[in-house]
Structure 1
Amino acid sequence: MVIIGVFGCIKMTRIAESGLNPTCKRTAILAVLVISILEIYYVSKLERGPAVQPYRSGPQHSIGDYTFEMTMESDTELSTPVLQQSGEASSLSNPREGIGNGTVKPSHSQLNESQIEAEISRRLAAATDKKIILIWSLAFGNKDAHSENPKICGNCEITYDRSLISDERTGAAVFHFDSIRGNDMPTPRNLNQLHIFWDMESSATLKVARRLSLSFEDSYKFNATMTHRLDSAFLASYQSASLADSQMGKNVSIYEDVLSRKSKFAIAMISNCGYTNGARVRLAKIKELIRLGLKMDGFGNCFNKKISWKQVPETVAKYKFYFSFENSYHCKDYVTEKFFNNALRNHAVPVVWGATKKDYEKIAPPGSFIFAEDFDTPQKLIDYLSFLDKNDTEYVNYFKWLTMKPEMLPQYKRIRGFCAICRALHGINADERFSPKFDRSNPSVPLFSDGIYPRVVPSLIKWFYGEDNPECFH
């Protein structure tokens, strides 16, 4: 500032000594004086250090102790939410990188499991205010009744009543892929809500069989997902929540009970004979096994022998092996009710094909299944099953999981589906810790929050299609 003042004085002296007329001299001196004062003021502001403010546009919306702000990206016409906790500077600047990808206070993430469970219990007891989950887009036209246990999930109502989209209690709107239409979405969009993309089909079914580009879904900027993928915001597993508790922790005498009910060899239940490429390959593989001499009974449309769902438990329990072959090949985390509810629940050893072995191991009881791809030829698989059929000791080894504690089942404590959504509406995000992408040192979503903690799906296409295995789409 002193230097600026000195240079200002020099300039005014030179003007006074110049040959300009008196009026011009006075005008020039006044101009130098004003410029010098402005320069001194500006430099003083720099020396104090200006507060750096993020670019902002649009209104703010409060959710609990958090503040929503709308930002616009140059390559999109859609606004996406950015979170900023009240009283704290936010490090989130790029909506495509997902809400919460900045630094989150690690206090809750540092809790051990017992402390996390205790905090969940405390918050569930306080989760008495009713939250609404609106199913906006139907799953294959069905309006199935949904209800969740408030002691486990919190107080929520699950409804199909679209008029409730504007109700202040509505915290989530769910959109099933089958009935999403660009001209049938909530308008205007309530930024205080989770808008959730819902799907339980494989990515191959959507991309190859249904030819869905997901371009509209991608542009809509869903801020949460509910699918079979383990890295979904909310897991929509085919596994029944009661499977572990109802089946595991049994006495060793269970082996004798299992063996006493086995009078038949192998069973398969298939009705999709060729809608997907995986379905066509599946049926060809099973027919090849039968041609080579595998003793198998087939049910479903592909075998022209129908069976009602009520008959499944009693029927499957008579067989030693259940062929749980999926309609998609190596599609990430895609394991259906064939494995969980048809085979494991009814105590038939699942012979599996479809997902990768690692994917099965991430969700299956330890030592519970036979992976078909472990065998070089179909004949070697048949030979191994025949060996087990004649060796009870080796066969019952596949049921050791029944005597294990339920906690040994992968993903055991993870809450699924609408129950998990209800928890999130009450600020309980603890199921995030089961996601393969969870970073305990820097979680993108805190385990607990005051009210809804929004998510962002940066690109649904890149996530659902781009992060799947390439062979899934062949």
Structure 2
Amino acid sequence: FHSAGHHPIEICFSTKCAVLLVFYSVWVAAVGFLLLMWDGLHYLPGPFVSSSKGTGAVTLLIWTHPFDQYRELPDCFALFRIDGCKLTDDERAYGVADAVLIHHREVATGTAELPPEPRPSGQKWIWMNYESPSHTPRLRRFEGVFNLTMSYRTDSDIFLTLHISKPRLVAWVISNWSESHARVAFYYQLRRFVPVDVFGRAGRPLPEDSGGVSLVQLVGRYQFYLALENSQHTDYITEKLWNAVRAGAVPVVLGPSRKTYERLLPPEAFIHVDDFPSVRGLARYLLMLRQNPAKLRRHLDWRAGYSVYQPAFWAEHYCTACRGLRRSRARTDVVPDLTDWFRS
């Protein structure tokens, strides 16, 4: 068109040329629109707007640090190979965050408020809670508030997967002692038949590093460890089980059903109190194992074919939430029955 030095409109008389001119005009308009959009994307204000949003990366705002204990936010890719995640606890990012992760305890007790409404378009609120329903107050305040759930429940929207004889018999570490707990009633019955060494507020003092290596070393001195949950609810299994596994003790569990535990461990890796018609029957079994190392080995041999991976609180929870957020970007619905679901 331009070889003769003319504008295209001046020499376009044929039908074929007219069709070419229409395609040319559409092409110019499309390119101009794309250039305008590209320029606009680069002109968006604010330090929390990432140019990687178009590639599937997300920004996750940690609204409160659980139990008001500050922890440095992790590098999700470096630690867990979860990419495309930007974590921040700076409330100024609220307007541009793809989602806000809200820990239940702080907003339920009033030490923190929910983020302001109206929330930014397309933003999701994630309800995070790792306490049992018995210790989760004021749930009904939050009906229809959250878009995603994150908890120990396996049917949560975002679930954090939990990828030889000993010189002493049974240990139990307990910090929250309540006479109304089923585990305390169980302990009173069990101690009538076998000796139980109790550590914590109701027993001997714990090692100074009670939450880490020292606790595992303490439990490792025993053949059996009482992994008794403070309440019995669907999927509610805490670090008590994993402390025993890490230490090499056989966990004696009180919590949800055996089937639930078998999602996490081989059937022979633990002893469930429901396997016996009475506490006395369980006690007899423990004493029998103590005298029969070959039978006790049945509860330990599974370790040769498995490795144990225990998630890190709370760093991996944040990164797992971020990964779950990326997978649910198209969802806009809310959780309508949070209380009934969590208590079911």
Q: TM-score range by the shorter chain?
A: 0.7 to 0.9
1-structure distance, mates of 2:332, 2:222: 47
1:385 aligned residue (282, 286, 291): 286
1:289–1:460 CA distance, 2 compared to 1 (3 A): same
AA at the equivalent of 2:234: K
Please name the residue that 2:14 is paired with.
none
2:248 aligns to what SS in structure 1? coil
1:320 aligns to what SS in structure 2? strand
Please name the residue that 1:115 is paired with.
none
Please name the residue that 1:84 is paired with.
none
Please name the residue that 1:133 is paired with.
60
Q: Does 1:346 align with 2:247?
A: yes
Please name the residue that 1:223 is paired with.
147
Q: Gaps (5+ residues) in structure 2?
A: 1-52, 310-315
2-structure distance, mates of 1:302, 1:327: 14
How far is the alpha carbon of 1:127 from its aligned partner? Answer: 9.9
1:134–1:463 CA distance, 2 compared to 1 (3 A): same
Please name the residue that 2:176 is paired with.
272
1-structure distance, mates of 2:335, 2:94: 21
Q: Is this contact kept in 2: 1:148–1:418, CA < 8 A?
A: no
Q: Does 1:299 align with 2:299?
A: no
Q: Is this contact kept in 2: 1:138–1:178, CA < 8 A?
A: no
2-structure distance, mates of 1:365, 1:193: 40
1:179 aligned residue (106, 119, 122): 106
List structure 1 runs of 4+ shifted beyond 4 angstroms: 126-130, 451-455
Structure 1 segment 353-432 matched on structure 2, within 5 A: 353-405=254-306, 417-425=317-325, 427=326, 429=327
How far is the alpha carbon of 1:236 from its aligned partner? Answer: 4.0
How far is the alpha carbon of 1:128 from its aligned partner? Answer: 7.4
Q: Is this contact kept in 2: 1:177–1:197, CA < 8 A?
A: yes
2-structure distance, mates of 1:266, 1:183: 44
Q: Cα RMSD between the aligned structures? A: 2.6
Please name the residue that 2:124 is paired with.
194
How far is the alpha carbon of 1:374 from its aligned partner? Answer: 1.6
AA at the equivalent of 1:328: S
Q: Does 1:233 align with 2:157?
A: yes
Please name the residue that 2:26 is paired with.
none
AA at the equivalent of 1:266: V
1:183–1:337 CA distance, 2 compared to 1 (3 A): closer
Please name the residue that 2:92 is paired with.
163
1:362–1:454 CA distance, 2 compared to 1 (3 A): farther
In the superposition, the TM-score normalised over structure 1's length comes to 0.54
2-structure distance, mates of 1:334, 1:142: 23
AA at the equivalent of 1:381: L
1:313 aligned residue (198, 201, 216): 216
1-structure distance, mates of 2:281, 2:289: 13
1:194–1:157 CA distance, 2 compared to 1 (3 A): same
How far is the alpha carbon of 1:178 from its aligned partner? Answer: 0.9
Q: Is this contact kept in 2: 1:298–1:305, CA < 8 A?
A: no
1:288 aligns to what SS in structure 2? helix
1:424–1:354 CA distance, 2 compared to 1 (3 A): closer
Q: Gaps (5+ residues) in structure 1?
A: 1-125, 242-257, 410-415, 430-444, 446-450, 469-474
How far is the alpha carbon of 1:380 from its aligned partner? Answer: 1.1
1:189–1:203 CA distance, 2 compared to 1 (3 A): same
In the superposition, the TM-score normalised over structure 2's length comes to 0.73
Q: Is this contact kept in 2: 1:165–1:186, CA < 8 A?
A: no
How far is the alpha carbon of 1:304 from its aligned partner? Answer: 4.6
How far is the alpha carbon of 1:129 from its aligned partner? Answer: 7.0
2-structure distance, mates of 1:460, 1:146: 28
How far is the alpha carbon of 1:179 from its aligned partner? Answer: 1.4
1:273 aligns to what SS in structure 2? coil
Please name the residue that 1:60 is paired with.
none
Please name the residue that 1:35 is paired with.
none
Identity %: 29
How far is the alpha carbon of 1:366 from its aligned partner? Answer: 3.4
1:139–1:370 CA distance, 2 compared to 1 (3 A): same
Please name the residue that 2:50 is paired with.
none
Q: Between Structure 1 and Structure 2, how many residues are aligned? A: 278
1:160–1:183 CA distance, 2 compared to 1 (3 A): closer
Q: Is this contact kept in 1: 2:206–2:215, CA < 8 A?
A: no
1:204 aligns to what SS in structure 2? helix
Tell me which structure has the larger Cα radius of gyration.
Answer: 1
Q: Is this contact kept in 1: 2:144–2:335, CA < 8 A?
A: no
2-structure distance, mates of 1:352, 1:376: 15
2:98 aligns to what SS in structure 1? strand
2-structure distance, mates of 1:400, 1:457: 43
1:302 aligns to what SS in structure 2? coil
Per-residue CA shift, 1:424-445, capped at 9, x if unaligned? 44x4x3xxxxxxxxxxxxxxx6
2-structure distance, mates of 1:388, 1:282: 22
Per-residue CA shift, 1:323-349, capped at 9, x if unaligned? 0011002x0000000001x10111100
1-structure distance, mates of 2:186, 2:284: 16
How far is the alpha carbon of 1:176 from its aligned partner? Answer: 0.9
AA at the equivalent of 2:64: S
Greater shift, 349-358 or 451-460, is seen at 451-460
1:144–1:452 CA distance, 2 compared to 1 (3 A): farther
How far is the alpha carbon of 1:317 from its aligned partner? Answer: 1.2
2-structure distance, mates of 1:334, 1:305: 27
AA at the equivalent of 1:187: E
2-structure distance, mates of 1:127, 1:317: 50
Q: Is this contact kept in 1: 2:160–2:320, CA < 8 A?
A: no
1:345 aligns to what SS in structure 2? helix
Q: Is this contact kept in 2: 1:147–1:157, CA < 8 A?
A: no
How far is the alpha carbon of 1:216 from its aligned partner? Answer: 2.0
Q: Is this contact kept in 2: 1:316–1:322, CA < 8 A?
A: yes
Structure 1 segment 55-70 matched on structure 2, within 5 A: none
